[in-house]
């Protein structure tokens, strides 16, 4: 399946995340990057398609949307967002502030639901903590070892479910497990059943 990036969906998702994070004092540029990343990849894992389809690359601080800065600049120039620079416990922080409401007609209900799950999960973390959490993801590790700004393919998330946002691998139904055991016994003439 070819993934086509949607700048319009990304813009509306940025606005949604910024609005939903207005009261989060730990919300800054790094956290925005990780929320967008996790929401897109979680959507890909759960329903086979990302929300925005944007490319994410591996930076030292973790995954980030490749075209976020140019898109953010366009939004700023159109008066859709503002960038509030502040100091968070001695560290510089750049917050995206929504200056208009998101156009929810451009997002599906599931898009918003995935973003909200991620926002809640990361709410108590600061930029450094979300960055460290994202470094556990094999997709970031593999891409970053190939060099900074290497693209992280969406499909890699399927191979590292637990590190990716703590998703547990699905349990197979008992009837499928029993069928597999029966096939194994038949194919390998095993007199004893497989251990579970």
Per-residue pLDDT tens digits for 11-23 = 999 999 999 999 9
Rounded to two decimals, what is the model's pTM? 0.83
* Of 55, 35, 68, 71, residue with least CA distance to 143: 55
**pLDDT in the model for residue 189:** 59
Kind of pairing between the strands at 62-65 and 56-59: antiparallel
- Is the predicted pLDDT of residue 191 greater than 70, yes or no? no
Cα–Cα distance between 136 and 68 in angstroms, integer?
22
User: Residue 64: CB partners within 8 Å, gap ≥ 6?
Assistant: 33, 37, 56, 57
Annotated domain spans of the chain: 7-167
The answer to whether 111 touches 15, Cβ cutoff 8 Å, is no
CA atoms within 13 A of residue 138's CA, in its CB half-sphere: 11
């Amino acid at each position: 399946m070819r993934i086509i990036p949607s700048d319009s969906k990304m813009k509306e998702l940025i606005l949604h995340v910024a609005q939903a994070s207005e009261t989060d004092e730990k919300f800054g540029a790094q956290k925005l990057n990780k929320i967008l990343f996790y929401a897109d990849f979680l959507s890909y894992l759960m329903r086979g398609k990302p929300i925005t389809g944007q490319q994410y690359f591996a930076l030292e601080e973790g995954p980030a949307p490749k075209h976020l800065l140019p898109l953010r600049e366009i939004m700023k120039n159109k008066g859709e967002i503002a960038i509030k620079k502040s100091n968070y416990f001695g560290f510089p922080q750049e917050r995206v502030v929504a200056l208009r409401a998101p156009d929810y007609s451009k997002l599906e209900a599931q898009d918003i639901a995935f973003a909200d799950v991620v926002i809640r999960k990361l709410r108590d973390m600061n930029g450094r903590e979300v960055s460290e959490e994202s470094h556990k993801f094999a997709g970031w590790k593999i891409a970053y070892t190939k060099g900074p700004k290497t693209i992280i393919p969406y499909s890699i998330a399927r191979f590292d479910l637990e590190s990716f946002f703590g998703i547990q691998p699905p349990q197979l139904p008992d009837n499928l497990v029993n069928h597999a055991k029966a096939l194994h016994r038949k194919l390998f003439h095993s007199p004893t059943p497989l251990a579970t």
